[in-house]
Chain A
């Protein structure tokens, strides 16, 4: 049976596509070396639209209105620019209410885009541009350590990694936060109260790597401007030993935290990337594996939720579980030496 893989790898090649949400201009060049904060593409995006009903305002037919409309598609109009003027002794006119661009003209109406803002797409990770995707973005390659998580709040930043948790089940509290941590990405494991999240965001730190997050803090975590990645689950779970070991041994290095929102269909996942110097490109990790004895796995459901173990054997057929359900299962030896039976659908390979 194919096994899903959660990447926690000490040294690997990492290739990531970075795309604008809409079409725009790509600024990066092929083979360009980029830093996480480099802008590689940009686009203009209008937040709102304004529909000017010229025919109705001037009380004329749509065809008549079309004949007197002075603007055309793609015209940029400043606020108060006259769009059409009626006739008569006291002619009425229609003007652009705000600065904007004309996107549709017809049927006696004018539709404008207004409130335009610029979207900047940053590289997100340090590396080399290996492909340009016209009008949308680029593909970046780097090499280093990779730790993937299961939840992210959609933000991205980079900074120096500080291990403030000290142990996998450490709890970050407000009194542990001080100005010396400003600009750092914190390996913090658990956060159990809103005050701590708010204080970290206000400091501000550049990111939080958590083992688990209380569901009651999810909304706040989505709102804060600091990237937050969760490695193991919801509630009060310690960080799995593989992720904690890799991250804690890389403390004080510059890391990129891309807390991308997990998307099961596209495969986008939040991740920490730690660029390392290399002489040749290391191999890419496998996207899937086949369950086999010796593979390192992580428990996705109880018992031993979040713990790392290795597959001892794969009994044939269906195995009766303590719940009474029967499913294809594996015998897994946990790090504490305990051997448990776990259904294969509750396991993911770590590597």
Chain B
């Protein structure tokens, strides 16, 4: 059994877990350490309320709200100034801390391992268990260290690092491991880039991803709402010198190129300068309408989407904005930016980034998970080919028949302008 320090719910699964607990007459053991937000189903159109484009979505929102109030859980509601995607707002508010255990019924909870927390995604039953007992029953995970040595070249981002790792080691390449990301190229990343990297540890089937906290971590956290002042003495939270891992992988960061996915698994990724591999999965190729040996660069796109818990933070938006400033989205391309949190949205507007995007022809929306997945409401035109800063390119993930190519926000921005998949 392991003590659970922080639990985070969202409206997709929050009401189901809390209602189930209530019907079993089980109470939340410490509601002060449980948080909830409306991010999964909530609309991202301006002027939103509880009504959603997803049929019946308002029920998820109203039931989650009622269940959180009944249980005494802190909720960041639809139009709360702190509303946003779980894995964006939790760090923003300092809810995740180094050395804590953090769980949420959401597979991308591993994002928050970027702070040196043991943070992992669980199911609804496990969420009930964590809330009712303050603990989880966990088989000790195996350990893996992925060391990125050397320096990234220009135009290469944390998103490219994780897609490179996925392409090399597969969607089961980290199965059941806690994966520590280490090395010169990791410590050189800012906190938002570290979150992007850890976010996709789950796409390796890892238990979680984690990065040793350092000065950058403490600088980021200092002064945030739920962070103690002064900062606690967390000691030296890092792997011992000479520590033995169950598995070690070494990657030369300088050899990583801008990446893009070609298929229906995040591991189906290649260099933007490369071609679809000869041994490519036939079903994936058929779904994506591609052939082996085909280049992805210059492939025409219908939609460009910047958002999701992977790449929607202020630094992502700043980098994307520099590529669209004073330019126009290609004719016929639908382009959208969904800021990762209401706070990111306000910060971007204060810097004028919203104006840069809207002048170029992007839609500028409210915060939420939005079009990262299709919940039954909003989607893209049938058959659309989408370049997306998100984390999953599964069949139908963004809507029936939608063909998703995942890449960095830079690649999405440059491709929106060019109307085709483009090296930024």
Tell me whether A and B are bound partners.
Answer: no
Interface, chain A (partner B; CB < 8 A): none
Interface, chain B (partner A; CB < 8 A): none
